[in-house]
A = this chain, B = another copy of it.
Amino acid sequence: MILSPEQVSTFFKAHWTVRKYKNFKMPVEHLDVILEAAQRAPTDATAQMYSFVRLTDPVLRKQIADLSTNPHIETASESFIICADVFRLEQILKTYDFEPASIPNIAIHFGIGDAVLAGQSMLIAAEMLGYRGCWIGGLINAPNEISELIQLPEGCFPFAALTIGVPDEEPVHRPRLPRNQVVHENTYRKPSAEELKIGAEQMASITARGNWAQTLARYFAKGGGMEAREVKMKEFLQKMIYRGK
């Protein structure tokens, strides 16, 4: 299958993130194809340092929906926890009498990388079939509790959740930053204050109050919501990935 630039453009332009789904059971042949797409994704050294935990138990779905404050984890056709995972890799090494190295920064680097490569391939496969989905960063609100619920072993941590289903809401177009602030040529070009303001204005329509910097600040500035999560995540990674090293 080779598509024209217009077809590819139309396909990616039609991407939108959905948080309200119809009650719809995904046919098993669709589930099979999106998981196949995930598994065909490239991974570092083909080491496949990721795992998916598919959530089918309604009680578990509700618990994780509550912990991550994303109700659509309960209602989507399919809900997954997308994990970085060096546990299995370490088990393979041990099975063949090799001692795993202590490489926590590498594990996080390629673990997240592999998990997202597989997850994004799965989402795009689902979008090709006509579904829509949502990546959920909110697992960082409760990494410990969620990892215990799905019984993740050391060496494994939940990067994000991913829901897929049939939309029960209308598409909304969300803008992006100007390309010349995101794509650089040969060397990183720092945008001027003027350009940053143009970018922030271009993004304003995704915010309730029309002030993108303020929205970002609520998460990423001093006193914002990410500071408490940083503490939680540091402790959590210390336990699951650094393991005292």
Which residues of A are at the interface with B, using a C-beta cutoff of 8 A? 1-3, 5, 7-15, 17, 29-30, 32-42, 44-48, 50-57, 60, 83, 86-93, 95-96, 98-106, 108-110, 112-113, 116-117, 120-121, 124-125, 128-130, 134-135, 137, 140, 149-153, 156, 159-160, 174, 176-177, 179, 181-188, 190-191, 193, 196-197, 199-200, 203, 206, 212-217, 219-224, 226-227, 229-230, 233-234, 237
Contacts and interface: CB of A to CB of B under 8 A. Distances in A.
Among A106, A179, A222, find the residue whose CB has the most chain B CB atoms closer than 10 A: A106
Copy number of this protein in the oligomer?
2
Given A44-B135, A105-B230, A108-B108, 4 more contacts: A5-B33, A13-B36, A53-B187, A100-B220
B121 A156 contact: no
Please name the 10 residue pairs, one residue from A and one from B, whose CB atoms are nearest each other, closest first: A96-B213, A116-B116, A98-B221, A12-B37, A98-B217, A103-B230, A151-B187, A2-B130, A120-B120, A99-B222
Is chain A's binding surface mostly helix, strand, loop or mixed? helix
Contacts of A229: 103, 106
A85 to B, nearest CB: 8
A183 B105 contact: no
B160 A113 contact: yes
Contacts of A130: 2
Contacts of A181: 88
A89 B220 contact: yes
